[in-house]
Structure 1
Amino acid sequence: MPTDLDNWFVREVLVHERALALFLQRAWPHRDEWHDLRQETYARVYEAAARTRPDTPKAFLFTTARHLITDRLRRSRVVSIDSVGDMESLNVLVDEVSPERWSSGRQTLKRLAEAFDRLPDRCREVVWLRRVEELPQKEVAVRMGISEKTVEKQLAKGVRLIAGYFHMDEPVAAKQLQEPAPAGNGQAHGQQPAD
């Protein structure tokens, strides 16, 4: 015999079955999982409604479906330890980090930070926004109030200077990063170029 909750569920939730099916078909690429997603969404909504009935059942239904899809996407990007299995039986060499390698990595990171810190201000900001924050070139240009071409030039300059720092002796590289632009380009000593 149907309960009050069952009647509410049929009246307020199941009436949106077609819309939910269409939503799942647009939002989830794996056709064979649509039915399971719909059933799991219903189960979650029913369990939640058993505790407290939502004020807007349709919105709650679709929000639950979105959260379920988000959970599945997140899980699909994480490799389970169980799925990796026993690495030794696969004859896979696990590269353990030796103290020497760890120290070398720390030194490399320190040199990178030093090179980055020595970049001219605008150049450093462009490199940070493009390479660390991974902002699009257009957004960096808007944020900094410069042209996209300037962003491109500053990024190339920053990468070139950092690479040069790594391929030279530290004192020579440090001096190069701190030197002003060569004379003859119309700039006073210590001024940064417009680009």
Structure 2
Amino acid sequence: MGVGMSWDLQRLFVRHAREINRFLRRRGHSVETAADLTQDTFVRLLAAAPRGNGDNPRAYLHQVARNLSVDLYRRERLVDFVDLPAEDFQGLADFAPGPEAVTYDRQRLAIVARALSELPEQTRMAFEMHRLGERTMQEIATDLHLSVSRTWALIRRAYLHLRASLNDDLI
């Protein structure tokens, strides 16, 4: 079995979201911030294939959550050092995602998870091995007993289906 086949996004969310949320709460984040960062962790999984930890989704999710937490604390620390009167401080832009952005990201996550589940099994496996498992076309073709050109066609079809699903549902 290839690495990517075990990276079922919905299953990972169900299995690890509460754990990631508790991890972020232990790092000192509020309930709301921990919820936002947990969601961002899973959205990040869609946006970027893992580097290292390719065979350990739990470790990868924890690393992403930790990085998002550190980034947020760095941004907050920069603000702490600015000595502004309260009324001037209130006028500063808030760079945290607003409720609309969080809702939008959650909708996109649900759409992508649904679109992945709609793909034929071999197409979904090829896509996950490529996108989440960082496997080459040749490695995937060998594992699935396909030609490289057929593997490329399956992965391209998966990308097109995901893009169409996102465009259809968010327009």
Bigger Rg, which one: 1
**Larger RCO (CA within 8 A; separation ≥ 6):** 2
Larger proportion of helix: 2
**TM-score, L = length of structure 1:** 0.40
**TM-score, L = length of structure 2:** 0.45
